[in-house]
Structure 1
Amino acid sequence: MWGPRTPNLTGQTIQFWDYLDRRHAGLDFGAVHPDDLGRLYVRFHASGDARPLDALRHYAARVDGEGWVHPATRRMTLHWKRHLDLLGVHDPGLLRDRPVALPVGETVERLARLRLCVDHRRHGGPVYLDGTRWGMPLRKVVGTDGHANYLLVILRDLLPRLTPRRRVLFVYDDDLAHDYALLARVVGALGARVERLPLGRVPLGGLVRTSRHGGWDEVTIDRLARLCRAEAGPDAYRLGMRLYFIAMLKRTSGETFRPDLLRRALGRAERMLGEARGDGPPEASAAGCLRPSGWVDPYRLTDGLFARRSRPVSRTLLDAVFL
């Protein structure tokens, strides 16, 4: 489930927009290369030039009320959609506006009735998700400035959709594991069946860092796409990227990104495509990778595909899942 308003309501997004509008007002953001926008993002975080969120409520109001998107974010989103199309990745609705289901106040009231949050707003204080019954600390989700963080925005979207036994799979950055463990408990208390799939970051130069710190200039998706597509066809590019980032690096790899191994995965992908046979439904190949709640573990499935040596891979599986 995806909605652009959710990431666009986060504090770091709104503060970056404000920085761009104050410090780079003359730029045509729709014409700036996405890599240069990324460098501006790094510069913003290094500068410490972030205004308080209570001074930026007009941004949140436009996003929440109209689905407005800053031109820089729209430019970056179009760029990512083009690359997701090249990779054959399903578009969850990157450019399709969808209002968040509930307002902040109603979400907090629902959680408070279920004793899942502590609300100090009437005293001028914050709102906390309350996981103390599970031995978890309180987690602030609305600050004294009135800004709701990403966890509350997720709950604003999820609460009306949760029914008893509804299955929910959270896919998230492993650095956010504590937040999603609490979120899973809250959603589980509302009757849903929850599973989690944390994704690790790939080290660069032996270090795992967020994009805000930079150091990614040589490994942007643009550069990787040019490197790979100069050496492999469209299908081998799609399959090779999956073999490298899923089967070779695994979910929480400690190994630094290596272009030579990516090239090896591309070569393996071309051989697999050349040898593939159109046999059997893809469900048969995926059956051994099913989780109890019914979703297929992409790491087990891809690892199994990569490990096959004795017989050709099913072309049906490749077309349905990987291409």
Structure 2
Amino acid sequence: MSESKKRVLIGSPIHQKPQILQEFLDSLLRLRREGLELNFYLIDDNDEEESSRLLGTFAASGNEVFLQSSGLHDAYIRNDTTHFWNSNLVWKVAGFKNLMIRRAEAFGYDYLFLIDSDLILHPDTLLHLIGTGRDIVSEVFWTQWQPGTILQPQVWMHDEYNQWDAEPGEQLSQEEINRRFHAFLAKLQVPGIYEVGGLGACTLISSRAIASGASYDRIRNISYWGEDRHFCIRAAALGIPLYVDTHYPALHLYRDSDLDKVPDFIRLTTEAEARQRLSKDPLQQEETGGQKAGRAAAEFAAAFTERGTPPGRS
């Protein structure tokens, strides 16, 4: 008797430029889905007609898409330097993500995979994240938040965005903070699974975590910025550990200029996938399939994170 497929709902609130959105949607179609029943829940919050048209085409292509219009027209300003958020936008997106959580729960999905619409994923990302067995896990991506700064991951250890280890009440010199900060970034360049204090934007959430109360509701006595902080603090309070995986870093199209990186990213991910197929060749006996697959993932992670890195070495 064949094992039943795991049911996964991919959710994304979308307010995106057409060129970036097209790359995102193409990335979703490249995801490997062996053993999965994959559905999509996309919320169209666009103010550009072409972006809405792209979503309509994607939904009509037989991809099991639930496409919902937000009915809202809030201004969201971004340029090739940074993005500008306000509190209304943050909690609007939190509401969208909660709708996706509720749908995943109501329709009995095994997992909800929440992805920001400016990410390009390695084809193995979803299957790999499920295979980690974690209830909440994000795939890493690296962003240069301001021009001329180092690349940083979207995960952190504590508080709002502190990317270093510290014990409660521990007093650290600036020199020690810098040392721990660079150590944290260096660690995340090594393929692995690491426990963190905060994450977001590319997150797999299990049905068990949802049943335990995971949500993006605002925590009233916390003033931290961003819905992901409130999601992560609530998860920690519920006893759900948070993890980041670094085997298959996503590409973050934070600026229009990042579109130039897409061809190389697709080439690298295609080469890594080809190596994994080769690892299943019975004629290749010098390494096990698992060893070859692991080596391919490590080579991909190293090659990709070297683009503009290593972080912490300016």
Is the shorter-chain TM-score for this pair beyond 0.5, marking a shared fold?
no
| TM-score, normalising length: structure 1 | 0.31
Larger RCO, structures 1/2 (Cα 8 Å, 6+ apart): 2
Higher helix residue share: 1
| TM-score, normalising length: structure 2 | 0.32
